[in-house]
Amino acid sequence: MWEKWVFHSDKKLTDSTMIISLSTGAPQYFMLYSQGRELAKYFLEHFENEKLASYYASTMEEF
User: What are the residue boundaries of the structural domains of the chain, listed by start?
Assistant: 3-57
Residue 50 DSSP one-character state: -
Judged against a pLDDT cut of 80, whether residue 47 lies above it is answered with yes
Mean of the pLDDT values across residues 25-43? 76
Confidence of residue 41 (pLDDT cuts 50, 70, 90): confident
Q: How far is Cα 39 from Cα 5, in angstroms, rounded to an integer? A: 21
Q: Are 6 and 56 in contact (CB under 8 A)?
A: yes
Output the DSSP codes for 1-46.
--EEEEES--PPP-S---------SSGGGHHHHHHHHHHHHHHHHH
Please tell me the predicted confidence (pLDDT) of residue 35.
78
Judged against a pLDDT cut of 60, whether residue 62 lies above it is answered with yes
CB contact set of 8 (below 8 Å; sequence gap of 6+): 50, 51, 52, 53, 54
Mean of the pLDDT values across residues 27-47? 79
Mean of the pLDDT values across residues 10-39? 74
